[in-house]
Amino acid sequence: MIRQRQVILILNTNYYYYDSKILLLVILLLILLLLLLILLLLLLQLLLLPLLLLLLHRLLLLLLFLLLLLLLLLLLLLLLLLLLLLLLLLLLYYYYYYYHYYYYYYYYYYYYYYYYYY
């Protein structure tokens, strides 16, 4: 009886272990996406800088410079939103792991305890 109950608990913990690994993989993919966005931002700066230097008219130069600044601010805002999303995913991961994991663990434990002994 006791061995069978322990095997059921181990099977339940393995299920949540693999589920948490999938969530960690999603978080790592989000981090890679964030790094890719930073790289694209740097490449965009390198592409727009010669264009700004080639323009002679000061108003167009000022307009393109303001456009570049606006684009940089928008991309930084997007990076900030991605970081907040990553933080939210980490918080959800810890909430899921530390609360739901033990809740279901003891739920199954008491369920099978009830099934075997009563």
Average pLDDT in the chain: 70
Whole-model pTM: value is 0.40
Is residue 104 predicted with pLDDT exceeding 50? no
Tens-place pLDDT, residues 11-48: 445 555 556 677 778 788 888 888 888 888 888 877 77
Percent of the chain with pLDDT over 90: 0
Percent of the chain with pLDDT over 70: 59
Is residue 88 predicted with pLDDT exceeding 50? yes
Give the Cα separation of 87 and 91 in Å (integer): 6
Which sequence spans correspond to the domains of the chain?
2-117
Q: Can you tell me whether residue 57 is helix, strand or coil? A: coil
Q: Which residue has the tokens 């663990």?
A: 105
Q: Cα-flanking dihedrals φ and ψ of residue 57, to 5°?
A: -75, 130
Q: What angle do CA 114, 5, 113 make, to 5 degrees?
A: 10
Give the Cα separation of 41 and 49 in Å (integer): 12
Is residue 114 predicted with pLDDT exceeding 60? no
Give the Cα separation of 41 and 48 in Å (integer): 11
Is residue 103 predicted with pLDDT exceeding 50? no
